Structures are given as structure tokens and as C-alpha cells.
Structure 1
Amino acid sequence: MFTLKSKTDNVKNANEGKPMDRKIKKLENLDYWFTLSRVAALGSMNKAAEELNIDVSSVSNKIRVLEKALGYELVERKSHSSFLTAQGESVLKAIFPLVEEFTYTLNQICREDKEPRQTIKVNVSNGLLELVICWINQFSQLYPDVDFELTDNKSEDLGHQLGFDIAVFANFSQRPPGECRDLGVAPTYMAASKEYLSKHPIRSPEDLKRCRIVSCYNWNCGQRFLYGPHGTENIPLSWGSFFGLDNSTSLLYAVKKGLGIGWGVPVYMCQEDFNNGTLVRLFEPYESAGFHFYMAVGTHRLSGIRKEFLDFFLSSWKREFKGYKTHAPCYALR
């Protein structure tokens, strides 16, 4: 005879003999939670309904059941979009690992004898996209039957962080569920194009007062400094005008186009430009604020081709970043 032992078998139940609380019963439906996770990820009930091949009303009703059982709203509904409330985000962060593990287990049980094409989902900081695309291209040459989904995690919306096998981030508010590991630091520099410097010669930080600074406007630090090696003073910066962008890729492009002097330009994005003379590093050995990167791995156990890619990714990261050190503090983008 086959029996299953519950975690609560040895716990005295004060309500023994009574029917299970109806609210708890409604909350046990994993399909409802999975539907909620797809709405969060896609930002729309219509898109979730299309993906799940059900009516929008069915999507809405499932979420309403959860909300009624919990006693508060999980989703903020707008005319063309839907977003998690603060309570909805907190609840889904707690419940999603269970939903993902359950869905993953079902897929493993139901898969055909012939191994289907697998999709590896990767979620990284904006400035890492070019590097990661190169690594995925190299891996795809070794394993051509694997599909990839690569997304940018600069949004802090939880929906963009769900359902990924590997996520790399420099901001803990962007951290998705799962095991987390430290990947180390990377410095950023002040840099400008030769064209810009020919029109705006820079001999000292004082000269920046007549220049435009180009930087990500959402650095989590109140003042921009030049950070010197240990034993030297940090230099607070002043500038004539400011051009703010919300990601490192746009920052590098603006600096190369001669829109101003870049502060916080990641070295891993511009080393080739320094080498070929497209960009000039300013005030060496001073640095701007550094990045500290972390990796989260999906809550389901990575095995097979996913484990192969994780090992390949970590090896590629170590090879690319092993020589980087920074004496500047490491902040995060908000």
C-alpha cells in the first residue's frame, strides 16, 4: 500500500474533524497563482489570456478568487495594463518558487521520449547585453538545438524578474527569487571622445565646470566624485550642464557621439574603445563609482543543458572580469 506522509501529520490540529477553511482551499489552486505570475510578467491580463489561451474574464476571475480569499488586492488594474500591488509583489515573491517548481516538475513528467527543444532564459543588466549575446552565440555553436530568451532587468518591476534560469544584476531590488552568488566588481571611468576633447580641452577637474557631464541619472549616490587610490582624496565634481540617461548602453553611445564627458562608463563596455583611441580615459588613476554584480539562479534545479550553460556562463564571466579591481565604492542604479 502506497502512503504519503504530510509535513503536518505530527502537528495537532485544533480543527480536526472540521472541514478545511474555504479560504485556504481557494488559495491552494496553483493554476490561479501561475495565472497571476503571467500577468505580473507580461504586465497585462490580455497578454496573459492570449498566452494561456483562455478568456480575459477567466484570468481576472482567478485573480479575484485569490484577492477575496486574502482580503486585499494583488493587482492594480488599468485600462491597458495590470501591475502587482506592493502586497501582491510580496505574496508572489513568497509563492512563486513553489509554483515554478511545480510547473517544472509537471513538464519533466509530461515530456515526450524525444527530448524537445529547450529554452534557456537569461536576464541581465543592460550594459551586459552585448557581452552575453557573444557568449550565447558561442554556446549556440556548440549546442544548436537550444533556444534562448535574453532580457534586460533594469526595470525593478517583479514581473520582469520571474521565470529565468540565470539573472545577473547590480541592484538587490532587482533580485529575482533563487540562489544568489557574488560575481565580483567592475570599475567605471570618466571618458570622452577625441572629438569632444579637441573642442573642450580638459587639464583638471576644474575644467569640467564648462563642460557637459553625461551620466546615468539614477545612480544611487547623492554626489558624483572622482575616487582616488587609497591614501588620496576623493574629488567632488561640478559641471556646466548635465545629460542624464537611464542605462549604460545609451551612456556609452552618447559619449562616443561627443555629447559630453561620461561619468560612470563601465570598463567592460569601453576597453576596446580605449585601446583603439575612440575614447580617452580622463584623470587616471581616479575612477567613478564601481559596479558590484550578483547572479541569481532559477529556483528549479538546473540540470542537463541548463547546467551546461550555467557552467559556460560562469567560465566566460571569470575570463572577462578576472582582471578587474576597483578602489571606488560600488553603488547601484535605482
Structure 2
Amino acid sequence: MMDLNNITLLNQVVDSGSFTQAATNLGMTKSTVSRKLAELEEHLGVKLITRSTRKLGLTQEGEIFYQASVKVLDIMQQTELELTANQNLIRGHLNLAMPVEIGHNVMSDYINSFLKHYPEVSINLEMTNREVDIIGDNIDLYVQIGEINDSSLVARTIDFSERIIVASPEYLNNYGYIQTPEDLQAPHHQIRVVNAVKVPNLYFNQVDKAIRVNLPYRLKVNTVTACKSACLSGLGIASLPEFICREHINNGELIRILPDWDLPRVAISLVFPQNKLLPKRLRAFIDHVLERFESKNAARK
């Protein structure tokens, strides 16, 4: 059976960057640290660390084992806290990732209020529109737009994003107003449609009617902010989240097209690995966000 103390030892060596410092931190001799690491490598049957006169490095197998050991030790620490008198103490580190616009416009207030409420927790927040590998990138929680198709992940829906079609007054004056979804496919619109991240078919719905429209594009970007900017400049028509456009519609910079037609709403979800025992700080963050969204949605009604 693997000795958990040797896992802790490996983490100390990696985190400190030297056997000497790890030995000091653990109250051991350098030779003892080296011997115990060799025992761990022998037990696993793989080399974990490469050593040179200047620095230490993890092998590919070592990196995989190290990332797993960080999670194991973290869960053990949280479990210990929950089973002791310190069970009310929530502390530690969270790695969060989310799309840029969701981070700026939706989640930032909730993250800030969480950190104020739990001063022993620290957060590394990556706002990105790249495709995130939650497990491979060691992400504790990702805010997902749309559905997930991964059985190793859990999704908790917190809200829905309403998408609308908009264009600038300049564009509509130059190229004509849109009366029906089919008008979007008119020849003079075809190379002037802009869309964010993906360029999917749009499904317009009314009570007794549904229409699918294929939107060609002239500009394809990976953020809705860039898409909105192009739309504001008169470049074309865009499908955007309503909350991104609200201010610009109110001040007349954008005009909502086809307001009597609905586009499918898109789920906004908290996504995290499917571990039976989540770190307490992660559970606290999820509960914090869910409670505030429930209050927000109740106030809308």
C-alpha cells in the first residue's frame, strides 16, 4: 500500500524546487527525502523526477502523479477539517475559469462577495474564450455557456442567457430592415452578418411556427464583445446575449431585429469534476453563487 507521507514528501520536493528545502520543511535529512522518493518511484514502477545540478523537473508520469496527489491531499485536508472542531473554517485555493464576458458582466460580483465572506480562501480566475479542459487544466470550476456532454463532469444550471438579433441604425438604413427571419438570407445581407465564437444555424420560434436560418458571415470572432463592437460600427447583423446589448438598445446605438421571434435560450452552468467528496471551499462557492442567483431570479418575478 502506498504511504501517504511519501506523497506529501513528493509535493514538498516539487513545490520547493529542491531536496534540501523540502528536507528543511519536513524536518528530515536530505538523504531521507531522497530515499523515500526512491521508494515511491520503486513502488509505482516509474521515474517521477529528473535531477540535474541546477534544477529538478517532473517526468510526464511525474506530472500526472503530482497533479493527482495535489487533489488527494487537498481532499484529505478538507475532510480532516470537517471532522474536527474546525469544521466551520473554509480555507484554501480555488482555480476558476469562465468566458470573458460572463466573468466581467455576470460572475465578478459573486466572486468578490464570496471572497469577502470567506477571507481564508484565495482564487485564481482565468477569463478566457478558449476551450478549457477542466480536468487536464486542473480547474476546480468552469462557468459553461450551453450544454455539456461529458459524464465525468457535473453541471448546475444557474441562469439562462436570452439571445437576440441586433444591428446598428446605420446598417439597417444602408441595407434595409428585417421583417421576417427569411430576410436575413437576402443577397445583400449574406456577406455582412457577424457572429460570435461559432456561426450556427439560428432557430427562430413563435407559438405555432419555427424557422431555421443559416447565417453566412464576413467576420468571425471568439468574443461577444468584439462581435458587438463590429455590430455597433455598422458592419453587420449579430446574434448576441440580451444583457450585452441592453444599454446600447436603450440609447439607440443598436436596434433589436425580429422582436416577435424567440431564439432558444442558452443555459449558464457551474461545471466541476464529478467527485463524491468536493473540497468544502468549492461546495461553499457553488452554494454562494446558487443562493444569489435564486434571489436574483425571485426578484424578477
Deviation, structure 1 residue 288: 4.0
SS in structure 1 opposite 2:280? Answer: coil
CA RMSD of aligned residues (A): 4.9
Residue 215 of structure 1 deviates from its aligned partner by: 1.4
How big is the shift at 1:232? 0.7
Tell me how far 1:54 sits from its aligned partner: 0.9
Report deviation, 1:292. Answer: 1.6
- 221, 234, 240: which one pairs with 1:258? 234
Could you tell me which residue of structure 2 aligns to residue 196 of structure 1? 171
The secondary structure found in structure 1 opposite 2:238 is strand
Q: Could you tell me how far 1:293 is from its partner in structure 2?
A: 2.3
Q: Provide the rounded CA distance (Å) in 1 between the counterparts of 2:299 and 2:253.
A: 22
Gaps of 5+ in 2: 19-36, 49-57
Does structure 2 retain, via aligned residues, the 8 Å contact 1:254–1:260? yes
Task: Pick one of 253, 265, 271 that aligns with 2:246.
Answer: 271
Structure 1: unaligned runs, 5 residues or longer: 1-19, 36-47, 56-61, 74-81, 325-334
Identity of aligned residues (%): 16
Query: Could you say which residue in structure 1 is the equivalent of 2:22?
Result: none
Distance 1:139 1:27, change over 3 A: closer
Which one of 125, 139, 149 corresponds to residue 124 of structure 2? Answer: 149
User: Which residue does 2:192 correspond to in 1?
Assistant: 212
1:127 aligns with 2:101: yes
- Rounded to whole Å, the distance in 2 between the matches of 1:323 and 1:197 is 36
- Given candidates 11, 17, 33, the residue that maps to 1:54 is 17
TM-score normalized by the length of structure 2? 0.61
Q: Judging changes above 3 Å, is the alpha-carbon distance between structure 1 residues 104 and 194 closer, same or farther for their aligned structure 2 residues?
A: farther
Change in CA separation of 1:310 and 1:158 when aligned onto 2, cut-off 3 Å = closer
Give a deviation string over 1:43-66, Cα, whole Å, max 9, x none: xxxxx96xx2316xxxxxx9xx87
Aligned to 1:76: none
Match of 1:302 among 275, 281, 287: 281
| Correspondence list, 1:280-319, <5 A | 280-296=255-271, 299-302=278-281, 307=284, 310-319=286-295
1:11-52 CA distance string (max 9 Å, x none)? xxxxxxxxx6xxxx49995459969xxxxxxxxxxxx96xx2
Equivalenced residue count is 257
**Residue in 2 that maps onto 1:15:** none
Q: TM-score of the superposition, structure 1-length normalised?
A: 0.56
2:90 and 2:118 in contact (8 A); partners too: no
CA contact (8 A) 2:134 2:272 kept: no
Q: Give the 3 Å change call, closer, same or farther, for CA 175–266 of structure 1 in structure 2.
A: farther
Query: How far has the Cα of 1:156 moved from its partner?
Result: 2.4
Q: 2:151 & 2:248 partners in 1: Cα distance?
A: 31
Query: How far apart, in 1, do the equivalents of 2:73 and 2:120 lie?
Result: 27
Please state how far the C-alpha of 1:300 moved relative to its aligned partner: 0.8
Change (3 A) 1:254 1:172: same
> Which residue in 2 is equivalent to 1:245?
221
Q: Distance in 1 between matches of 2:76 and 2:169?
A: 56
